[in-house]
Structure 1
Amino acid sequence: MTHIRPTAAPATRLALAGAVALLAAACTSTDSGGAKGTSTEAKGAVPAVSAPPSIATAADKALPIDPYLLSYEQRDQLERADSVLVTRCMARFGIQYQAPPQIPGGNRPRSRTDRRYLEMTADSAQAYGYHGAEGDRPTPAPPPPQVSDATRLVLTGSAAANAKSGQGGQDYNGAKVPKGGCLGEAKEKLGANPSNNGGGDAQLARDIDAGARERSKTDDRVLGVFKSWSDCMRTKGYDYPDPVKVLDDPRWSSPAPTDVERGTAVADVACKQQANVVGVWFAVEAAYESQLIEQNTTALAQIRKENEDRLRAAAQALSS
């Protein structure tokens, strides 16, 4: 399991741009690896929302789908266990190998809802605009270690330099190389399979997450607060149709934030709070997620159990 981290763009803008990318995700259906009766297309009436919270950030809020997705801490635990199991497997073949450490990105949100609704703090907006603090920039991933053909064979199950995994079965130091090598063995022990994308989140849970997001951005209630935000920005001298478009302004691509960028970001924060963009958007998205969860209770219960089993296996690997 590896992190893929950008290295050039500013952290805050990267985080907000990641949220924008989620907005563009299509709402698709899945059977979560063959489970019947699963769907990520909301059915029935538009879900009701009662009394959206008045909040400037959703960082401390949980979405209904969260129990079926891995938290950042749980991902870290699985990755640590993966490294331990790979190192231990390689040792069985007499090879000293230390799996590369997993380094969380410096700009990783505090939670899945941190900056999900394009929010910033007033202080950050005043100081950095849409650029973000230097200390929040991503940490470059270390280059992959150079290994010999023999090490690669045991590690991946294939001696080919460009092979990510092989069939295994070869004899090495009197032992059979497992399918996919030690990398494959570790993933199998930690419950990696096609339905959870090889050790990540289950596809159904991911689709519900993205599907509710897609529905929320076209919901009249969210569009209403977007318009209120746009009207507020216009009174301050800024003309943007919605909070997403302000991030696309090419002027923010400068090496450092300008006074215009800072001023725009400060107005952005104030207008989001005035229109309660974060509170309404969060509440509407949560309502769509609840609707989709209700339509997929059986499959999601199985996903939750599989995640618990995987984390239990990770804890055992780390403690033994």
Structure 2
Amino acid sequence: MAHPARLLAATCLVSAAVLTLGGCAGDEPEAAGAGKEPDIGSIAKLSSTEGLKFPVAAYEVTSDQQYQVKKAQNRLIEQCMKRFGFEYARPAPTPPSRNDSSSRAFGLASAKDAAQFGYASPRRATDPAPAKRQPAPPLSRTGQTVLNGVDLVAEAEAKEEGKAAAPTDEPKSQAEAEKAPGTGIMVNGKEVPVGGCGRESALKLFAPNPGAVDILFVFNLGGEAESRALEDSRVRKATTKWAQCMADSGFTTSSPDNVQSDLGLVQGKLSSPEAITIAKADVACKTRVNYIGIRYAVQSAYEKALVEEHAETLALFKQQTQDRLRLAAQLNG
């Protein structure tokens, strides 16, 4: 189960980029120390994950930074569309949640939240409903072609007739795109870029030059550390103890990551009296076996090893993130 904040970051980044830019440097971090469990030293007694610092977190982007980048991408799309004669105002992105905490990095951990909300998110339970997202403004067929780099209507018709569209060798950076042949589609005397204004905006932000680090590199690094930690003998032992503690309380479940599915706690019933009873037992068992302390020590050790192994790529990623945020600041005014 991915770290919730990390999963949110990845989702926002992919959304902001419109597409995953394949072929970037450092696409997939390799497993560090496969077959050998890292030393974790003494393990602190922890009953909460609030405020815990993870090694990989130093390279993750915040929700506010993601918001600024999404705003900037809107500006780039609008500028590109204007070159072809289209006044196109993108809907504003959803403002950041301001919730970058690690409070549920290892599942439910707060006894107070368990007693009040069960497994429901406190933020979701107490915040007002988000404003309805405004749809993108309508575009003509030609406008859609400029935005996407392909005539979607003609493409759909070709598929119906069994004619496959000709493959396009998409450039992996904006520098390459400026030198490579375009789509051959002319609109108002200008050639539509490969992938249209959507891809051009993503390249300018996420891969202006060859060798850009994949925007999901840090997410994948954290996911690799988490996967290895879950297979670590010390975490497995703690999980077994936690499951036995839950069984002693009358609940049969294999791990904290599976408790909701194992016990049939579906969305909409996460704060039911039954869910609250289970949640209170869950947190109490985590405290009893020091599940959080063990998970944190082990996962931090794997993250630290991966950070050291990929130090050069992470330094490049950090520099490129700073460059991206500077460009975003200029575009956002």
Superposed pair shares fold, TM > 0.5: yes
Deviation of 1:287 after TM superposition, in Å, equals 0.4
Post-superposition CA distance 1:77-107 (Å, at most 9, x none): 21111011112222333322111222258xx
The structure 1 residue matched to 2:233, chosen from 202, 207, 220, is 220
The separation in 2 between residues aligned to 1:37 and 1:244, in whole angstroms, is: 24
The structure 2 residue matched to 1:86, chosen from 70, 77, 80, is 77
Q: Judging changes above 3 Å, is the alpha-carbon distance between structure 1 residues 254 and 247 closer, same or farther for their aligned structure 2 residues?
A: closer
Q: Judging changes above 3 Å, is the alpha-carbon distance between structure 1 residues 242 and 141 closer, same or farther for their aligned structure 2 residues?
A: same
Post-superposition CA distance 1:211-246 (Å, at most 9, x none): 111111121221232233234334433333432332
TM-score, normalised relative to structure 1: 0.74
| Preserved CA contact (<8 Å) 1:169 1:176 | yes
The separation in 2 between residues aligned to 1:135 and 1:103, in whole angstroms, is: 18
Deviation of 1:195 after TM superposition, in Å, equals 6.1
2:115 matched to which residue of 1? 126
Q: Judging changes above 3 Å, is the alpha-carbon distance between structure 1 residues 254 and 297 closer, same or farther for their aligned structure 2 residues?
A: closer
| SS of residue paired to 1:253 | coil
The separation in 2 between residues aligned to 1:171 and 1:277, in whole angstroms, is: 61
The structure 2 residue matched to 1:156, chosen from 142, 148, 169, is 148
1:252 matched to which residue of 2? 265
Unaligned runs of 5+ in 2: 9-21, 157-167, 171-181
Larger mean CA deviation between 178-187 and 129-138 belongs to 129-138
The separation in 1 between residues aligned to 2:26 and 2:224, in whole angstroms, is: 18
The separation in 1 between residues aligned to 2:112 and 2:241, in whole angstroms, is: 23
Deviation of 1:43 after TM superposition, in Å, equals 4.5
Amino acid at match of 1:301: A
Amino acid at match of 2:196: G
The separation in 1 between residues aligned to 2:27 and 2:150, in whole angstroms, is: 36
| Preserved CA contact (<8 Å) 2:78 2:90 | yes
1:229 matched to which residue of 2? 242
Amino acid at match of 1:312: R
The separation in 1 between residues aligned to 2:308 and 2:183, in whole angstroms, is: 42
Deviation of 1:53 after TM superposition, in Å, equals 3.8
The separation in 1 between residues aligned to 2:227 and 2:299, in whole angstroms, is: 9
2:221 matched to which residue of 1? 208
2:30 matched to which residue of 1? 39
| Pairing of 1:23-62 with structure 2 (within 5 A) | 33=24, 39-43=30-34, 45-62=36-53
Deviation of 1:112 after TM superposition, in Å, equals 6.5
User: 2:199 aligned with 1:187, yes or no?
Assistant: no
| SS of residue paired to 1:240 | coil
2:177 matched to which residue of 1? none
Unaligned runs of 5+ in 1: 1-13, 20-30
2:187 matched to which residue of 1? 172
The separation in 2 between residues aligned to 1:37 and 1:262, in whole angstroms, is: 39
1:284 matched to which residue of 2? 298
The separation in 2 between residues aligned to 1:171 and 1:255, in whole angstroms, is: 51
Q: Judging changes above 3 Å, is the alpha-carbon distance between structure 1 residues 36 and 141 closer, same or farther for their aligned structure 2 residues?
A: closer
1:3 matched to which residue of 2? none
Deviation of 1:142 after TM superposition, in Å, equals 4.9
TM-score, normalised relative to structure 2: 0.72
Post-superposition CA distance 1:11-62 (Å, at most 9, x none): xxx969x79xxxxxxxxxxx98456996334357421113334333334223
Amino acid at match of 2:257: V
The separation in 2 between residues aligned to 1:126 and 1:36, in whole angstroms, is: 42
| Preserved CA contact (<8 Å) 2:221 2:306 | yes
Q: Judging changes above 3 Å, is the alpha-carbon distance between structure 1 residues 36 and 190 closer, same or farther for their aligned structure 2 residues?
A: closer
Post-superposition CA distance 1:282-320 (Å, at most 9, x none): 22111001112222222222222222222222222222x
The separation in 1 between residues aligned to 2:28 and 2:283, in whole angstroms, is: 42
The separation in 1 between residues aligned to 2:74 and 2:278, in whole angstroms, is: 45
The structure 2 residue matched to 1:68, chosen from 42, 51, 59, is 59
| Preserved CA contact (<8 Å) 1:67 1:304 | no
Deviation of 1:131 after TM superposition, in Å, equals 3.8
| SS of residue paired to 2:264 | helix
Q: Judging changes above 3 Å, is the alpha-carbon distance between structure 1 residues 297 and 155 closer, same or farther for their aligned structure 2 residues?
A: same
Q: Judging changes above 3 Å, is the alpha-carbon distance between structure 1 residues 111 and 122 closer, same or farther for their aligned structure 2 residues?
A: same
